[in-house]
Amino acid sequence: MDSPVKSQRMKNAVAPPSAPDGGYAWFVLLSCFLVFGLTFGIIKAFGVFYIEIHQYFETTATGASWITSVAVATMHIVAPVASALSARYSHRSVVIIGGLICSIGVITGTFARNLIELYFTVGFLNGLGCALTWTPTVTMLGLYFEKRRPVANALASAGECILTFVFTPLFQLLVDSFSWRGALLIVGGLQLNLCVCGMLLRPLTGATHITRVSEVKGEEEHVLLESLAKEGLEQRKPNCVKEEEQRISQGSDQTIKKTYNLKEPEEKPPELRNIILRYVDYTLITNARFMVYSMFGVFAALGFFAPPLFLIPYARSKGIEEYQAAALMSISAVLDLFGRVFFGWVANLRLVATVQQLIVTVILLGTVLLICPLASSFPELAAFSAAYGLVFGATVAIHITVLAEVVGVQRLGSALGFFMLIRSSGGLLGPPIAGFFIDKMSDYGTGFLMAGVALLVSALFLLLLHQMNCRNRGHPHQEPQYATGQKGTREVSELEQKSRT
């Protein structure tokens, strides 16, 4: 009678780890804080290098902007791979390897002889490393926090703001002192700290990672269900044990399939499907709300990455001194930090639906970008930078929280990877499209106009998502739960209930 042992083993296997919301979770938060700064913070501060590279290689605005675009797009495209590798191995090892790739890519970029080599090193390799560090770290943060998740996401993303504030004038100083090649070499050394961030990612104590514990091999599940069925029959007819066991042994496969609607263990496609779902939950593409939210991500990415890249060149084109132009990014970073923390706290109060809050901030962000070309003096540009940073921070603070609400935290790892993959097209094309308009109009202000329009279009998809949420409020849609373990838990509980009757 080893079925109770197997039953208990199954319960322990599929039970998801609880989020502690404290204790070691704060070290995971610190790791995520630094990862945000050493990935997106460096990308946002890259505008300092943009001017130097643009002049050194005598290229167009579009040509120089492809460096950032390739990095951002690679980071997004590789995100699902990073999620799968984290599920297969561990978050810690993937992040450490990603940190090494980041550092090697940027350091190798210091020896680039043309833009193509910069696209591959500072663009592709750096983006690849960023994907392998950022995606697993954010996923781990979502597992460690539940009640305080909005605040935790806001505090972690604040690392992007604080380090952008520090890096922008620092990079300008390094460029002035050691040229852009020497400055890139130092940046590559800084990114080695991503490996330290990976070492801080410790799995939840007493539980296996949530994306792996939910998968039970088909053969083990078949044996467990058969043993539970036998146990139930023994309890119902104690006087006919031998007779019932003989009947089950003769037709166990057919009986179990008929009673519990299970497929034959010999069928290979379900087993292959479970293996794939263990690492990549591709069923997300059938989730209409997730796909609508992903379309929001595409158009939002068109407007997210162009303004930080072109803010410093735009200020320089208006006659602003180089250190004052760099200070604009620092001003934006300070207000960005305040916006993330404050509006993350507001989201945690649950005063309104998180998606409604996101709709308002995205519309405000698009409006602010449309107003940017009206600014020409340093005080006006400082006011724009402050407004942009505040609303941008309010937007970034909650967009991952909305994603978790759309798909559930159990599927956040795969959802984040797919979301980044779909959004990659916007991240790839945003800066070059803005650069195209800048080259045609000979005005950096047109890049901000393009970004503003893209963000307003993205808000339309959020409005559609909100309407879908309202329609489903009375009758919540049951999403497929292959990768969450809930299906397995429900079947086991039903079998145990039947076995006791």
Q: For residue range 282-339, what is the model confidence (pLDDT) as tens digits?
A: 677 788 888 898 899 889 888 887 788 888 888 888 888 888 888 888 898 889 888 8
- For the stretch 395-428, pLDDT in tens is 887 887 888 888 876 777 677 777 877 887 887 8
Q: Does position 359 have pLDDT exceeding 70, yes or no?
A: yes
Q: Looking at residues 141-167, what average pLDDT do you find?
A: 81
Q: Looking at residues 160-183, what average pLDDT do you find?
A: 88
Neighbours of 382 (CB within 10 A): 18
- The pLDDT assigned to 119 comes to 92
Nearest to residue 334, comparing CAs of 295, 387, 375, 283? Answer: 387
Instruction: Write down the pTM of the prediction.
Output: 0.63
Q: Does position 266 have pLDDT exceeding 60, yes or no?
A: no
Query: What are the residue ranges spanned by the domains of the chain?
Result: 18-210+281-472
Q: How far apart are CA 253 and CA 246, in angstroms?
A: 13
- What percent of the chain has a predicted confidence (pLDDT) above 90? 20
Mean pLDDT of the chain: 76
Backbone angles phi, psi at 131, to 5 degrees: -65, -40
- The pLDDT assigned to 246 comes to 52
User: 18-210+281-472 domain in CATH 1.20.1250.20?
Assistant: yes
Q: Does position 202 have pLDDT exceeding 50, yes or no?
A: yes
Query: Is residue 475 exposed (0-12), middle (13-18) or buried (19+ Cβ within 10 Å)?
Result: exposed
- What percent of the chain has a predicted confidence (pLDDT) above 70? 74
Q: Looking at residues 65-79, what average pLDDT do you find?
A: 85
Taken in order 462, 464, 467, 473, is the CA torsion positive or negative? negative
Backbone angles phi, psi at 482, to 5 degrees: -65, -35
- DSSP assignment of 75-97 equals HHHTHHHHHHHHHHS-HHHHHHH
Q: Does position 1 have pLDDT exceeding 90, yes or no?
A: no
- The pLDDT assigned to 321 comes to 85
- The pLDDT assigned to 362 comes to 92
Q: Looking at residues 5-14, what average pLDDT do you find?
A: 45
Give the confidence band of 44 by pLDDT, cuts at 50, 70, 90: confident
Rounded (10°) CA dihedral 462, 465, 467, 473: -140
Q: What tokens does 170 get?
A: 């620092």
Q: Does position 85 have pLDDT exceeding 70, yes or no?
A: yes
Q: Which residue has the tokens 């809050």?
A: 357
- The pLDDT assigned to 279 comes to 55
- The pLDDT assigned to 258 comes to 45
- The pLDDT assigned to 348 comes to 76
Q: Does position 460 have pLDDT exceeding 90, yes or no?
A: yes
